[in-house]
Chains A and B, each alone.
Chain A
Amino acid sequence: QTVVTQEPSFSVSPGGTVTLTCGLSSGSVSTSYYPSWYQQTPGQAPRTLIYSTNIRSSGVPDRFSGSILGNKAALTITGAQADDDSDYYCVLYMGRGISVFGGGTKVTVL
């Protein structure tokens, strides 16, 4: 079974830029996987940031952007702020209506 891979953790300085990636244990991610990205802080429901590779969800600031970088999907946070300190999850579409979450990346802003 294909596994969706994410970095376990990342640190970024306030005002800095960080790029998280979402890959496959076997194969390359393309726009055909319709990657989407979610932010979750402890005790809260997830919040949608990006879907269908690079479509920003309603109300999401433009410092969050989605793309394909090489063979992975990527979420870039530009100008990191303290409240970006969260867990970030990606989802990839596997076909036939089935999707899979990645294991998540814990981002620390310090």
Chain B
Amino acid sequence: EVQLVQSGAEVRKPGESLTISCKGSGYSFTRYWIGWVRQMPGRGLEWMGIIDPDDSETRKSPSFPGHVIMSVDKTISTAYLQWSSLKASDTAMYYCARVPYDLLTGFDYWGQGTLVTVSS
């Protein structure tokens, strides 16, 4: 069974750093790109970017925040989203999702989401 399991909810202050994770199982992790989707409170879904777990190549939305980094550790089948200096506007639910094989778009399986709250 394909599963993407994300790390738990986080509360941080502005300026702090943060890393959230997404662990894949039940499939060959390096054969499928992983994407990240943001959903700010009361708003729609936003496509942030995707990363190839095999070689860490990324494709990012033009509006992808410059202080956010996608990364992956293929040895433990885990993708990460990292902030160097959080802002209040980073408050959102973040989902990871798997891109269907041989495509660069769309998602077929989703993580349960990680809620990030940034508040002083």
Chain A residues in contact with chain B, CB under 8 A?
Answer: 1, 34, 36, 38, 40, 45-48, 51-52, 55, 57-58, 87, 89, 91-93, 96-104
Contact = CB atoms under 8 A, between A and B. Distances in A.
B109 to A, nearest CB: 7
Nearest to A94: B105
Interface extent on B, as a size class? 20 to 34
B104 interface: yes
B47 A91 contact: yes
A36 B107 contact: yes
Interface stretch (B12-20, B70-78, B110-118): B110-118
17 contacts: A1-B62, A38-B107, A45-B113, A48-B108, A48-B109, A51-B103, A52-B106, A87-B44, A97-B105, A98-B47, A98-B59, A98-B60, A99-B104, A100-B47, A100-B61, A101-B45, A103-B44
Nearest to B112: A45
B45 A98 contact: no
Contact of B111 (A45, A89, A103): A45
Interface in B28-75: 37, 44-47, 50, 59-62
Which one of B45, B50, B61, B104 has the greatest number of beta carbons of chain A within 10 Å? B45
B33 to A, nearest CB: 8
A46 to B, nearest CB: 6
